[in-house]
Amino acid sequence: MNFVCPVCKTLGTPHLCHKCTGKLYKMLHTIAMLVPELDNELTKQTAKVSKMQRAGGSSTPLVYSPEASDLTQYAWTVLDHWLRRSGWNGDVPTLTLLAATAYYQYHRLARLIDADVMFTEMTSLRDALVALADLPIEKVFLGVCETCQQPIHADPTETHVECRCGAQMDTQAAKTAISDELRASWLTPKETRDYVKGKGGVLGSQVLSNWGAAKKVRKQVIEGQSFYHLGDVLAYAEERGLFLVH
């Protein structure tokens, strides 16, 4: 009987040939290296903190990225299925360890009778992980869904986004509302300076203090902590031409 590699059809073996085994090895190495990116995506959250709430205050974290969440489940299903199909019967607590196990057990996978199906699924998983790593979806908090009260985050370039409950949200209106709310916020001196720095400007602590003392911007002290009205600071900074407010 003439055996052929199930992937490239090279004669000589009923399993993956040497060349295809090498490809599988590299593929599983890539998967093992990129699986941690899923954790990065799942924990890349922004918190919306209520006005005047500081350390210890309540906040609402964003829901997990649906794309990363779905890919995490897919990765676990594929890796666990084929490892057990190959005869491995271990147990690991995390997807990262599961991916590393698949990498170290590549020789078992290469000898599967249906290695062609396994090879195709691993290729699909590898490509999905590469796409996630190379083209991350930058999402921002857009507010809370009026229907189900769940936080919504999405690509800010989209005109409309859909909540998981099916409700629609106008992206631009949501961004405007958040901007208006932020400008109405009271921030600590450091938070105020950091925000200005993020806009490309430089605002020294003494300068900010002088603005407050001269009543150019609103300032209030609560339990010994100073807070500045961000909208006032941005408006006065723009008036003085310290930076361009976008």
Instruction: Give the model's pLDDT for residue 52.
Output: 41
More confident call, 166 vs 123: 123
Burial of 20 (0-12, 13-18, 19+ CB in 10 A): buried
**Relative orientation angle of helices 115-134 and 18-42, to the nearest 10 degrees:** 40
Degrees (nearest 5) of the Cα angle 176, 186, 209? 125
Q: Is the confidence at residue 108, as pLDDT, over 50?
A: yes
Q: Whole-model pTM?
A: 0.49
pLDDT tier at 205, thresholds 50, 70, 90: confident
Task: Kindly state the average pLDDT of the residues 32-41.
Answer: 80
Distance between CA atoms of 99 and 73, rounded to whole angstroms? 13
φ/ψ (deg, to 5) at 228: -115, 145
Q: 4-13, 56-65, 190-199: which range is least confident on average?
A: 56-65
Residue identified by tokens 């489940």 is 73
193: number of Cβ within 10 Å = 20
With contact defined as beta carbons under 8 Å apart, do 101 and 83 qualify? yes
Structure tokens at 174: 């949501």
Q: Which two tokens stand for residue 66?
A: 């649906």
Task: Note the pLDDT of residue 75.
Answer: 93
Domains delineated in the chain: 18-50+59-134 (no CATH), 140-180 (no CATH), 185-239 (1.10.10.10)
**What are the strands, taking DSSP E only, across 52-144?**
59-61, 140-144
Q: 197-229 burial, b if ≥16 CB within 10 A, otherwise e?
A: eeeebebeeeebeebbeeebbebeeeeeebbbb
pLDDT on residue 242: 67
Q: What average pLDDT does this structure show over 20-45?
A: 80
CB distance 225 to 188 below 8 Å: yes
